[in-house]
Amino acid sequence: MEKYFLRWFKPKALLTACSVLLLFGIVIIASCGNSPEPPEPTVVTYSNPFFPLEVGNFWIYNRVSYPEDTLYRSEIKDTVRISGNLYYILMTTYSDTSLYFRKKNDTSYLRFVDNNLLVRYIAGTDSAYINFATPTNYMTGEGPHYPGLLYQYPASDSTTLGQFDSCKLIAFHNAEPNYGYFVKNIGAIEKGSDPLITLVRAKIGSIVYP
């Protein structure tokens, strides 16, 4: 019996088998300790062609004012998640901020909560900015400060970029600017009225105007 046992028992083979089992156990323990993180939840986003939100889009405006005009540029620089919502970061820079009545450079966080209502994230909450569908009978002087509401559609406007006959005229009650002409797939082409602000150049997606 001892002779048959010795023929079956091979220390080297046993050592190899133990090594394999030990390695297998280490792999299992390591995989349990490094489980992949769960993916971020999908964020539902909305859009509206009258204010196209896309990283890389920019708008350059001429702000007519005394003693000289001022150019300013608004550009969507990036996106950021805040409390599970996706916001577009709109940065505005002015060519001259030295005079007291000139606005300073600023940053806004924008998103559509449905296909018509654009909000800004201010002081920890969403504040209504523009509603492209809700009508108003007041051009200015009455009503709340925000949001901008639909005063006329279609409306016509002419700028250095050309003639536009299907604009949405948005009224901003008791605000500056107090109105804006918005064009599909471009955005605001004119804001007013004192000072008058007109679009002189824009890039929307891969299209550059003019």
Residues 64-123: tens digit of each pLDDT: 875 567 888 999 999 999 999 999 999 999 887 665 445 667 899 999 999 999 999 999
Cα(149)–Cα(172) distance, integer angstroms: 7
- What is the rounded CA–CA span in Å between residue 89 and residue 92? 10
How confident is the model over 2-30, as pLDDT tens digits? 444 445 445 555 445 445 444 554 444 45
DSSP string spanning 74-143?
EEEEEEEEETTEEEEEEEEEES---STTSPPPEEEEEEESSSSEEEEEETTEEEEEEEEEEE-S-SSSSS
Q: Give the number of other Cβ atoms within 10 Å of residue 190's Cβ.
A: 23
C-beta separation of 15 from 9 below 8 A: no
pLDDT grade for 36, boundaries at 50, 70 and 90 = low
Q: What is the CA radius of gyration of the chain?
A: 30
Bridge-partner residues for 85, per DSSP?
82
The pLDDT of residue 146: 62
pLDDT tens-digit map of 41-65: 677 899 999 999 999 999 999 988 7
The pLDDT assigned to 14 comes to: 44
